[in-house]
Chain A
Amino acid sequence: DGGITQSPKYLFRKEGQNVTLSCEQNLNHDAMYWYRQDPGQGLRLIYYSQIVNDFQKGDIAEGYSVSREKKESFPLTVTSAQKNPTAFYLCASSIVGTGMNTEAFFGQGTRLTVV
């Protein structure tokens, strides 16, 4: 089945550690996105990528890093520089705006907790 997969579903991080959230899609989508969701804040864009080997900062990129070495994969690293990383993280992918089939498909999310 085609879709977008995030792993793990739950992740615990100790203070000062870097952690990497996985996002894989087999929809052949060019664009991929990472969002952070906090209560009352909606979905805030961390990073997005429209093609392989290229990505742009979103609204809250500080303390995060990404790579896009393959079209199918867009991992997000939460670094120790991110002071408040506890949140729900959503990955999405989409066709880059070519018609009425344009929509973003989402993974099931990763809940990251700092312990």
Chain B
Amino acid sequence: AQTVTQSQPEMSVQEAETVTLSCTYDTSENNYYLFWYKQPPSRQMILVIRQEAYKQQNATENRFSVNFQKAAKSFSLKISDSQLGDTAMYFCAFMKHRSSGGSNYKLTFGKGTLLTVNP
């Protein structure tokens, strides 16, 4: 069974600064997807960034980038030039890749990190 761990329940950062959110996971699969989702106060879940495990290059989306360390099973999210609108809960999530075969493609989430961006 896959597990996802986010060890930072809360974090804060000053506007325009950089912050890194941590995520570790445990799996026996070789190929899988990792995601970061954002949940603002509206509670609507929004995809921030995704990474396929077989791709060594770290994914980037504008101010958001990841540091994917497959051997260490680590998937951290870096937010550069933090903005007030980045204030939200951030969830790390795991899904195995279809190439892994079998069944059980459930999407597993960590407990989340509440990020507050201060003006």
Contacts and interface: CB of A to CB of B under 8 A. Distances in A.
Interface stretch (B14-22, B69-77, B80-88, B107-115): B107-115
A102 B95 contact: yes
* A interface SS class: strand
Nearest to A31: B105
B33 to A, nearest CB: 6
Interface string A74-106: 000000000000001010101011101011101
B7 to A, nearest CB: 13
Contacts of A98: 98
Interface of B: 6, 9, 33, 35, 43-45, 47, 50, 52, 91, 93, 95-100, 103-112
A45 B106 contact: yes
A11 interface: no
Given A103-B35, A108-B44, A97 B98 contact: yes
A10 B103 CA distance: 34
Given A42-B111, A88-B43, A103-B35, A33 B91 contact: no
Contacts of A96: 98, 105
B107 A104 contact: yes
A45 B108 contact: yes
Contact of A106 (B9, B45, B100): B45
A70 B84 CA distance: 41
A92 B37 CA distance: 13
A41 interface: yes
